[in-house]
A and B are shown apart, each in its own frame.
Chain A
Amino acid sequence: MSPEALERELDQLHAAAFGWALACCGGDRAAAEDALQASYLKVLDGRARFDGRASFRTWLFAVVRNTAAELRRRAALRRLLPLAVLGATPDGQPDPATVLARADGTRRLAAALATLPRRQREVLHLVFYQDLTIAEAAEVAGVSLGTARTHYERGKAALRKLLKAEPE
């Protein structure tokens, strides 16, 4: 894929990729921006190479997911160091500004999603938010189709229960 075509694809998928990065970073906007930027750098400088086996979107989402996980691990390590007090490190929690900007319904959904296990949250996001099939979600999450289906069903049931339990 030529650099121009790559940039065009990234531009088209930017909004969706940002939503996915937000989901991977637990709603932390700053962490999502970092993860997305690091992912774009990986794609543009060739550290992540698209081989055409999956769709470009599925592949990009997998890159974003892996990058967010790397950044999360690094942030966790930094929090353990004594110097962590000098600079705020993303803690994987939704930042207050993002929470405030949400409408009541979506705020409840985001809060309920935050309580789900990561895999379930990811699969639900990919299927409902990104309109991917469960097979594509499995590809992005790096799990088998059966596992993805299980996460999807369990996550959906848990989410319904949480939303029903939440007061209107």
Chain B
Amino acid sequence: MKQSTINPSEEYKYGFTTDIESIRAPKGLNEDVIKFISNIKREPGWMLEWRLKAYARLKNLKEPNWQKPKYPKIDYQDLYYYSAPKSSENKPKSLDEVDPRLIETYNKLGISLKEQEKLSGVAVDAVFDSVSVATTFKDKLTEKGIIFCPISEAIQKHPDLVKKYLGSVIPITDHYFATLNSAVFTDGSFVYIPQGVRCPMELSTYFRINASETGQFERTLIIADKGSYVSYLEGCTAPMRDENQLHAANVELVALDDAEIKYSTVQNWYPGDKDGKGGIYNFVTKRGACRGNSSKISWTQVETGSAITWKYPSCILQGDNSIGEFYSIAITNNYQKADTGTKMIHLGKNTKSKIISKGISAGHADNTYRGLVRIGSKANNSRNFTQCDSLLMGNKCGAHTIPYIENKNSSSNTEHEATTSKINEEQLFYCNQRGLNQEEAVSLIVNGFCKEVLQQLPMEFAVEAQKLVGISLEGSVG
């Protein structure tokens, strides 16, 4: 096995590997592998059919190539599509039965799976490669009728909800990576908030890639029934390796009448080394449907990791008076690349959307904001406000803003503001003169630049994200 792991360093303290025996699907992508995944997850027949339908469709699709960051051709037959710790074969019934090495891994990542410990206001679903290894606070949530479980479990236990909503926002006929995910997805979280319920705690999923030569195909589905509210957060890390690994997730959100979903991401996948070797390809499809009237979906993302980040968390504003928001910080350093932004599709009347994007580029990195605002002909009195700010550090990096605006309704309007600035030597000097060293100064200035977005994060995570913003840029100013 060509598993080569680089020593975890200061810059990326999550870069370690857990030495654990795992079960893998045979290498490659074919119907047998899909059947293997479906079988090992004990899925009902309809799910396998759904996957195979996606796979049939995939064969007629081509990988997109319009994005700015280019990457060497991925050999889809040279990947593992399923890898799971052997100990999770017989699904542990409680935390006591979970392999201590896995619990230790999450502890090392700062995620406690023990309910009594800190972050007691946060329920966690821990996904390790292709399986969910533990979900906390399930009982407490069940009391309120909230379902928070691995999607593989939801497929078995709540087939009606899954059948009704899975693929209803991202159809299996969507683009290449979304369709690939539909065929081979392994685990992720399922959330259902019943009518009128305000979820009493933050829900979160922590994604960890551990195995080498393995793709992670996360699938998450969140449904907020009428008048409900949920705040959900995902975090991600991976070992440092000199191979590139693919993480191709599909995340679907559905908000019914008067419901609100707040979805936050702190993405810290391994970004590759200083010379751009290794790192995760983070090719993700995230889409939310504001299906009900006066519903709201808000995406907040802090993207600091990955060799390439390529994603557009989007909102389809179907219901009248619905609201979509996108707050983003994308930091690229060294040779990292990002092509990220959002799509706001206004279909209902009086729909509103707001986009705040902060791109920070350092080293040799390249950072693109790409966003679509489309206002349909029936979306009377709709509004969009977009603000894209780019911050450059040094003169070898790049920042690009590519807005697409399509307005088919004369009573609606869109606003777009964009700025590009450079971290200014004078500002650094000023901070240094007040006793801050170079890195503290950069962290302070960049956190100030990102403030509008950081403010959107749930409090428990905002502090962590602020630190991460500083750490991601370490060594970027000489």
- Do chains A and B stick together as partners? no
Residues on B facing A (Cβ under 8 Å): none
